[in-house]
Amino acid sequence: MTIHATPATTPARERDATPLLQVRDATKRYGGVLAVQEISFDVYPGEILGLIGPNGAGKTTLLNLITGIARPTRGTITFEGRSIVGRRPHTLGRGGIARTFQVVRPFANLTVRENVAVGAMYGAGGARRSTAEAFRKADEVIDFVHLGDQRTAAADSLPVAWRKRLEVAKALAMEPKLLLLDEVMAGLRGTEIDQAMELIRAISARGITIVIIEHVMKVIVGVCERVVVLDYGKKIAEGTPAEVTSNPAVIEAYLGKKYAREHLAARLPDAPVPIEAESQATTEGAGRDDAER
């Protein structure tokens, strides 16, 4: 099967826009581990940026730095032109940054509607919202993510695909300008992935800028305009999905030769596949070759 990139809008680099988020030389050390090392990239208003790399590459740590859960050891992060280093997650939430978590964390004893209403009270417009207004916002978001039939269900009773949707709904209720999605496709299959991709496109169509961490390459190639690739805490590539998926360093570190053979041969019949990448074809499931093809 060949995956074709479908650029949703004008590429960010052609828009000549001021970045919404700027990360410069971001570094995070945990004891002897350099989880993130001197990473720099920009996120432009309205774009969908993919963040990929093997397990342990530093993707979630980078999201933690952007959302105030962890503080960079070195480097700067600016949002709308102002430094956000040292700001707490709830302050950043009010300022327009919302995220989902890799391990979904609904309030298990609350209903779907109550969970989403919490997001509506916590985010950008949260301070001025009454409880009734928060529930109205929750209802609007629940309809948008197609969870209407589950409105009164207990969050912990939902199957995984709906829990993922609930996680996205909680973040959306915060009315973010920048939405960071951490592996929202994990555990989803077939049509569930297609529906989740449609949801991401619909969120983007609302003008929300999105950064998405994802191992499902179909999603990265299908929805992202640009992709940043990490390996061992460092940025090893940045470009369009077509550029990074045909980059030998990315194939070697992450995608593996099998991906290159199956997905790139049709697009780039003469493209050389690096010999060093051969080993990846035999190490599927070994962690560093974790891209789902």
Question: Among residues 37, 61, 67, 115, which is the contact residue for ligand ATP, using CB under 6 A?
Answer: 61
Nearer to ligand ATP, 65 or 121 (CB): 65
Q: Does 117 bind ligand ATP (CB under 6 A)?
A: no
Q: Does 184 bind ligand ATP (CB under 6 A)?
A: no
Residue list 139-158, contact with ligand ATP (CB under 6 A): none
229 membership: H or E segment, kind and range: strand 226-231
| The pair of three-digit structure tokens given for residue 183, joined into one six-digit string | 């592996």
Q: Does 20 bind ligand ATP (CB under 6 A)?
A: no
Nearer to ligand ATP, 137 or 163 (CB): 163
Least Cα distance to 211 among 81, 41, 82 occurs for 41
Question: Among residues 21, 57, 134, 227, which is the contact residue for ligand ATP, using CB under 6 A?
Answer: 57
Min dist CB 60 to ligand ATP, Å, is: 3
Phi-psi map region of 285: left, alpha, beta (phi>0 left; psi -120 to 50 alpha): left
Min dist CB 200 to ligand ATP, Å, is: 19
CB within 8 Å of 187: residues ≥ 6 apart = 160, 161, 164
Nearer to ligand ATP, 175 or 214 (CB): 214
Question: Among residues 6, 10, 55, 131, which is the contact residue for ligand ATP, using CB under 6 A?
Answer: 55
Looking at the chain, list the stretches that DSSP marks H as alpha helix, in order from N- to C-terminal side. Answer: 12-15, 59-66, 89-95, 112-122, 131-144, 160-172, 190-205, 217-223, 241-245, 248-250, 256-259
177 by Cβ neighbours in 10 Å (0-12 / 13-18 / 19+) ranks as middle
Nearer to ligand ATP, 272 or 287 (CB): 287
